[in-house]
Chain A
């Protein structure tokens, strides 16, 4: 059959090849998930696979985490800059340098250049958050690190780890000598390379099937198509300049006021462009919260994607229509060496996503989102210690058992599995039993904290609360929480979410409230308990459908008191025997009273 000349856009063949490329990314994802060793990868899916072109444009990133999507092309560019003509088939590069395109040092990224008929056509990218990277402290989020030296991670600025498909054992020995629980790291290393190699094999098959020229035409067309989709999405928005601000929590005496953040979003529907201006932000801070260029960009771009047609492809084609302005040496910009970007993927990045998506709500009803819950609290802690059940061997891992509540949206409530703005509900969560099997620990509870979701016409998801401690030896517990001081905000009359709070509980039951940044050692019998943040509400809670309020109370997401005081919904009957029902007259009166 006729396939059209390569010069013209072929709506059929472009769709077919795009499906294939998507399938390749999904196969890479499957491989990494199933073969990896650390729970943070194989249980929580804290990784992303993508395919870049030979000239360093991001082509496909199906199922990738929002914070990971942007920047893999910067990493392949670093590979090209550093190795130039020396790059050849059979190579694999390890990259985790936040100063040359990576998110943060904990995301080890494997880059495999894909050659066809002697030409470097693609690079496959497998980026995975490691359980440990050899930091000075046993955490992959070093909030306290004054600079990259104190952070202490091994840094690989596109270092070749395979040539002719053979691993350079020097690198393996270096990592084994520095990274905690080396066998776990090595298993993830094998899985990461295997994943990038699977992508390589499939891309070669694709080229063999369609021919080099056809594939090149596809790349051009797919980028143009994605750009066109983005233009269409932007044209649906009104012209506007939206300035929005927020702040990261204070941090001890170093940052007593927290970190103020500001983004200006300029929507130009006629030109089909969106400008994101982050230049009006403070200088780098002497701790691990600084954004890398990749994270500053990814997070703000993700905020835009959250606010437009969610089916627009995420690649360099659609990114052409978003211009991000960053300032050198800014905390939310391009970092100045040697500042630490250890926590770049979450805390400030989460706030930036919130600032952008909630700025869109300024346009009017039906636009944008409330702020999603922020902060990696106890449910996201990095735990480590010795395990009496395996010859007192060492363990280290990040828990991903529960996170923050999702934001209220124009027509839907927030999701309890949202976790963080930077992952947008995409990550899986651990199982209590698997965590207890793999680590010498026990959970005391893990549940919804009723009456905590930011009230709104569409409410934020309620907060989650949990408690856990070690079963035998002492356990180190570290987390860099946000949202303990500054709650996620509601929009358009919606209320703010709940702040995070955590406590240390001693063997005798006495409790001490913990600060947001935690580094503690728990002895047997002691435990931590606390709650993550909830999501902000969207719209006036008094306009919430009373039937939704009724369901919330029956299901235990909301309390009767809040239903009356915030939502103006009054009931008859009882929750206990499910006879609870709306009292229409009293509800109308209550809502009127709340309005006046």
Chain B
């Protein structure tokens, strides 16, 4: 049997999904072991092996592919344990990382210090050189001075070097020269050159990405190589791929070279899962993906079967965090989840968050000393969780503590505990709904014409009310909702991207130059493709222009209508393609304006897994008598007797009418009154809000 193993190591849990090659999936979960990731991974794989009824050794030996997703890089950034990195930049411009792009949220808030730059000013080195926007050096590269800089870098014990010079994208000669000197004087020191990593205009974006990438190189190299040898030692003989924030996966070699692509790679897999499940249930290729965690709610989009990307991903807060700078799958995160705290402000308004009870002490119902009312406490008060069967029985919930916590808010607004709890949950749902509305609106997508795929163990608590509020009629809660990212990896393609900066106006279009750039991008990807696994022809290369109207500064991704520009019709087709994108996103077009293409992108996609065929439609069966009934509240003062279904009651075709609750070992689904859920032939829940 050719097993395929995907592993998502989160901060707390390691999720594993194993597919058996015949369409079957099992989930394994274990605690993440930070000191040595392989240990937790092995436990989780073993848990999956037990469900397959085979020994761990056999599973490892017979698996031909393991896809690994890691938060190692993200954690190193958050805990500031990255390498001691030197930032090398153009003389006169040492503060690019400090000043970022400006901006903050509240102009009247003077209570916080300004954030430190990603690399300290004292670790910043200025090179005597200056390239111009036209690619001509106004100050030549000064070899002697550069050698002196490298000597200081050596003396002060730097472990990595980030090189970002102004206009290296117009002419990389100075960055290349400095790299040559590094190779000569400090052979083996890991470094990143900005024009190679992110050839985009805007020095802060390039510098930030370059700094992050270089700072991760030593530790990610150790980490990935170490994992590789641990897996080999444990008897795994197949191919290892690592998931990336580009929404695919790639070789360990490639990620040792560009480790920044592992940052946020776990969440980037969720949209792939979303697209796969939507396809499996024949619900189209416009998909909204939501992933509910304890402290955050992540949202992403798939439009026309394509993932959506952004260069505006911030590590930490927008404006004041650090910009990732690379083109990454657009997953937006808001601080709302089971741990968000409800309160009444001094104007009498009800609020949920942004404060969170986190994991410690956690919600009051966890019984670890928390007393503030959280969204999870509200769900407990409403009766949505079986206090004895939480997380498949791994944790007991303290109902009285939850009630006491919610009571503190109920007294302030003069409602019953249960009415208050429902409002707390609804307010949290509203924040989540707004996060979805924001991302869809920004991309010009209508949620009513999309399918929602919900992930996260707690997603089923309120996904139906969120969907109803958005007017979204197609909703899927996958059976593997609690391991959405790991399941996405099962269907991930190998993805590699190359970008070139060539600023081109459509009214003075240099087709020859553009074609040369495109050919260069494709050639690089073809070379890379030649050494990859997968079927020989099962790949494609997408070509994208990052374009804007002349005078704008924010680009929109525009798919190229042709592979090469041969005549005027091709040029006009590109212009029209851009007008359409602009109109979709901003509701206006400016047909008289030339279009300016800033960057050209080529994206290689090598298919590893065939998308599953839509399953046959299961024959519908009305649900019979439930395992149990219990009183649950749905906004009124009085409860409704609510049917409770356990995993054993669930079979394809089953239709469950609300009010009802489905309790699976890793997920809970609340079917609200007037709504219903149907189990598909594949075992996923199709939710109907009306």
Contacts and interface: CB of A to CB of B under 8 A. Distances in A.
Contacts of B430: 16, 19
Interface of B: 91-95, 98-114, 120-122, 132-133, 138, 155-156, 166-167, 201-204, 344-351, 413, 419, 422-423, 426-427, 430-431, 434, 437-438, 441-442, 503, 549, 551-554, 582, 585-588, 590, 592-593, 634-636
B351 A555 contact: no
Contacts of B582: 35
B175 to A, nearest CB: 14
Contacts, number: 213
A471 B593 contact: no
A11 B410 CA distance: 11
Contact of B201 (A20, A232, A415, A433): A433
24 contacts: A12-B423, A16-B427, A23-B438, A26-B438, A30-B442, A31-B587, A37-B552, A191-B586, A191-B588, A198-B587, A228-B346, A306-B108, A406-B110, A413-B114, A415-B104, A425-B103, A428-B102, A429-B102, A432-B93, A446-B93, A448-B94, A461-B114, A557-B121, A578-B122
A525 to B, nearest CB: 11
Interface string A388-417: 000000000000001000110101111111
Interface of A: 1-2, 9, 11-12, 14-16, 18-20, 23, 26-27, 30-31, 33-39, 42-45, 63, 65-66, 183-184, 187, 190-191, 194, 197-198, 225-226, 228-229, 232, 302, 305-306, 310-311, 369, 402, 406-407, 409, 411-417, 419, 423-429, 431-434, 436-438, 442-448, 461, 464, 471, 554-557, 575, 577-578
A27 B99 contact: no
Contacts of A39: 553
B438 A424 contact: no
B114 A415 contact: yes
A447 to B, nearest CB: 5
Given A35-B552, A424-B108, 11 more contacts: A12-B427, A37-B549, A45-B103, A305-B108, A412-B110, A424-B104, A424-B107, A433-B166, A433-B201, A446-B95, A577-B156
A432 B166 contact: yes
B92 A2 contact: no
Given A194-B587, A461-B114, A554-B122, A437 B348 contact: no
Contacts of B413: 11-12
B133 A409 contact: no
B110 A306 contact: yes
B107 A65 contact: yes
A431 B101 contact: yes
B636 A437 contact: no
B132 A471 contact: yes
Contact of A417 (B102, B437, B586, B634): B102
A61 to B, nearest CB: 11
B104 A35 contact: no
A432 B203 contact: yes
> Chain B: interface secondary structure?
loop
B46 to A, nearest CB: 45
Contacts of A1: 422, 634-636
Given A27-B441, A226-B347, A417-B114, A429 B427 contact: no
B108 A433 contact: no
B101 A429 contact: yes
A295 to B, nearest CB: 15
Nearest to B105: A63
Given A232-B347, A426-B103, A2 B636 contact: yes
A432 B166 CA distance: 8
A225 B109 CA distance: 20
B579 to A, nearest CB: 13
B102 A419 contact: yes
B426 A12 contact: yes
A232 B114 contact: no
A11 B350 contact: yes
A302 B503 CA distance: 42
Given A36-B552, A417-B114, A11 B348 contact: yes
Contact of B551 (A37, A306, A448): A37
Given A37-B552, A428-B101, A436-B133, A578 B588 contact: no
Of residues A19, A37, A448, which shows the largest number of chain B Cβ atoms within 10 Å of its Cβ? A37
A448 B344 CA distance: 43
A119 B464 CA distance: 34
Of residues B109, B112, B133, which shows the largest number of chain A Cβ atoms within 10 Å of its Cβ? B133
Contacts of B636: 1-2
A9 B120 CA distance: 50
Contacts of B203: 431-433
A416 B117 CA distance: 12
A291 B93 CA distance: 36
Contacts of B106: 310-311
A412 B111 contact: yes
A314 to B, nearest CB: 8
6 residue pairs, one from A and one from B, having the closest CB atoms: A1-B635, A445-B92, A424-B107, A429-B102, A37-B551, A409-B110
Of residues B349, B592, B636, which shows the largest number of chain A Cβ atoms within 10 Å of its Cβ? B349
B95 A2 contact: no
B348 A225 contact: yes
B114 A416 contact: yes
Nearest to B94: A447
B308 to A, nearest CB: 15
Given A12-B423, A433-B133, A578-B122, A427 B350 contact: no
A578 B103 contact: no
B108 A66 contact: yes
A8 B357 CA distance: 31
B350 A12 contact: yes
Contacts of B122: 554-556, 575, 578
B590 A448 contact: no
Contacts of B105: 63
Contacts of B587: 31, 194, 197-198
Contacts of A44: 102
Contacts of B156: 577-578
A44 B103 CA distance: 9
B466 to A, nearest CB: 13
